[in-house]
Amino acid sequence: MKLAVLISGRGSNLQALIDACAKDEFPAEIALVLSNKADAQGLHRAAQGGIATAVLKHTDYANREAFDRAMSERLEEAGVDLICLAGFMRLLSDGFVKRWRDKVINIHPSLLPAFKGLHVHERAVEAGVRFSGCTVHVVRPAMDEGPIIAQAVVPVLQNDTADDLAARILIQEHRIYPMAVRLIAEGRLRIGAERAIVDAPEP
């Protein structure tokens, strides 16, 4: 299965996917890393892994739809089957999500549907929740919504700062993102309108 990974910055989840794809038995490869920022650190990670990169600056386009159309063209050219958002800080237009329905997945650093949006860890610490975590989900037009593919839970400790919590969750992100891609690449995920169901592995 051919992946595209869309990034805007650090790219540590991209790195986790690069590392997973480097393993012989992993059923996917990264065909393209696309960034909307020319200075995204993740672009260096891709180059180091010998992966094709593209930079499309959203500021070069008249509106979101035009930017998304340009992305779609680039993704089609690369022949990708699955688009992994990994710290990609742009909202996607309905047109894009429709064009790639059930083929775009995202990782979010909370236990969705709790704490959608930005400043997730600050908000979790402030709310005094005892557990948080991360979610990989299928992308639907509304932000941070869509069928859940995988989640991991971590404790929130009494004296945690937002950074402490972010670091604890990030370790789990790097574990479950490749796991979610594997489920899809192995054809083990049935995606419905609201929910996704994982089929048991072949005995």
Q: How far apart are the first and last CA of the chain?
A: 22
Q: Which is nearer to ligand GRF, 44 or 190 (CB)?
A: 44
Q: Which is nearer to ligand GRF, 90 or 188 (CB)?
A: 90
Q: Which is nearer to ligand GRF, 15 or 93 (CB)?
A: 15
Q: Report CA 49 to chain centroid distance, whole Å.
A: 19
Q: Which of 44, 108, 119, 174 is catalytic?
A: 108
CB-count exposure of residue 77 (10 Å: 0-12, 13-18, 19+): exposed
Which of 188, 189, 178 has the alpha carbon at shortest distance from 146? 189
Residue 96 C-beta: closest distance to ligand GRF, Å: 17
Residue 130 C-beta: closest distance to ligand GRF, Å: 20
The DSSP code for 116 is -
Q: Is 108 a catalytic residue?
A: yes
Per DSSP, what are the bridge partners of residue 3?
30, 82
Residue 173 C-beta: closest distance to ligand GRF, Å: 5
Q: Which residues bind ligand GRF (CB under 6 A)?
A: 9-13, 86-87, 107-109, 134, 170, 173
Active-site positions read 108
